[in-house]
């Protein structure tokens, strides 16, 4: 099984999450409050230390005032067609 935690797609997801949060002018603490979680979880998500499952992905996208589909489209280009699980 290929490791995906530090893959281009995962790193792009982290970059996009940070970019979207900052474009809203909110802190990690603000986002954590919106999500009902600790700021440390947001830090782990943004650093790539923690991955999102599909439900969490949808919830985080909504908290960032984004469509999950649009967010996925932003990272899809970084996932090679030959990538294996």
Of 14, 8, 2, 1, residue with least CA distance to 50: 14
User: CA angle at residue 21 from 15 to 24, to 5 degrees?
Assistant: 140
Record the tokens describing residue 60, joined without a space: 């985080």
For the domain 26-76, what is the CATH superfamily, name and number?
Answer: lambda repressor-like DNA-binding domains (1.10.260.40)
Confidence of residue 5 (pLDDT cuts 50, 70, 90): low
Record the tokens describing residue 51, joined without a space: 């991955």
pTM for this prediction: 0.84
Contacts of 62-65 with CB under 8 Å at 24 or more apart are: 63/31, 63/34, 63/35, 64/17, 64/20, 64/21, 64/24, 64/31, 65/24
**Averaged pLDDT of the chain:** 90
Residues 26-49: tens digit of each pLDDT: 999 999 999 999 999 999 999 999
């Amino acid at each position: 099984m290929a490791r995906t935690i530090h893959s281009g797609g995962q790193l792009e997801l982290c970059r996009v999450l940070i970019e979207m949060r900052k474009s809203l002018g909110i802190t990690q603490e603000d986002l954590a409050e919106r999500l009902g979680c600790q700021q440390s979880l947001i830090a782990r998500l943004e650093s790539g230390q923690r991955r999102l499952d599909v439900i969490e992905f949808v919830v985080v996208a909504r908290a960032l005032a984004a469509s999950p589909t649009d967010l996925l489209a932003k990272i899809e280009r970084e996932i090679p067609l030959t990538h294996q699980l």
